[in-house]
C-alpha cells in the first residue's frame, strides 16, 4: 500500500507530536483512514458511511463520550 496518496487536514500542523487522521481514496470507491502516528493500521469505509460519521460528529453526537 505504499503507492497510496494520503491526505491530512490543512488544519493539522506538521512536526512531532501532531498526530492526525489521514484519508486516501482506495480502489473500488472505498476510503482508507489511518492515524498518522500509527500508519500501519488502516481501516476502510465507504464515502457514505464516512459522511454519516462526520455529520454526527459535527452535530455533537459523540460529545457525551468526552468525559469518559
Buried b / exposed e across 29-43, counting CB within 10 Å, b at 16+? eebbbbeeeeeeebe
Mean pLDDT of the region 16-39: 85
Spatial distance between the Cα atoms of 4 and 25, rounded to a whole number of angstroms: 8
Least confident of 4-8, 18-22, 38-42, 60-64: 18-22
Residue 15 has pLDDT above 80, yes or no: no
pTM: 0.72
Q: Provide the terminal-to-terminal Cα distance of the chain, rounded to the nearest Å.
A: 34
State how far the Cα of 38 lies from the Cα of 31, in Å rounded to an integer.
17
Q: In the prediction, which pLDDT does 44 show?
A: 94
User: 56: Cβ–Cβ under 8 A, 6 or more apart, which residues?
Assistant: 62
Amino acid at each position: 500500500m505504499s503507492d497510496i496518496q494520503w491526505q491530512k487536514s490543512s488544519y493539522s500542523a506538521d512536526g512531532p507530536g501532531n498526530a492526525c487522521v489521514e484519508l486516501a481514496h482506495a480502489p473500488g470507491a472505498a476510503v482508507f483512514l489511518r492515524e498518522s502516528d500509527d500508519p500501519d493500521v488502516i481501516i476502510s469505509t465507504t464515502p457514505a458511511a464516512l459522511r454519516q460519521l462526520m455529520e454526527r460528529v459535527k452535530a455533537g453526537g459523540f460529545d457525551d463520550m468526552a468525559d469518559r
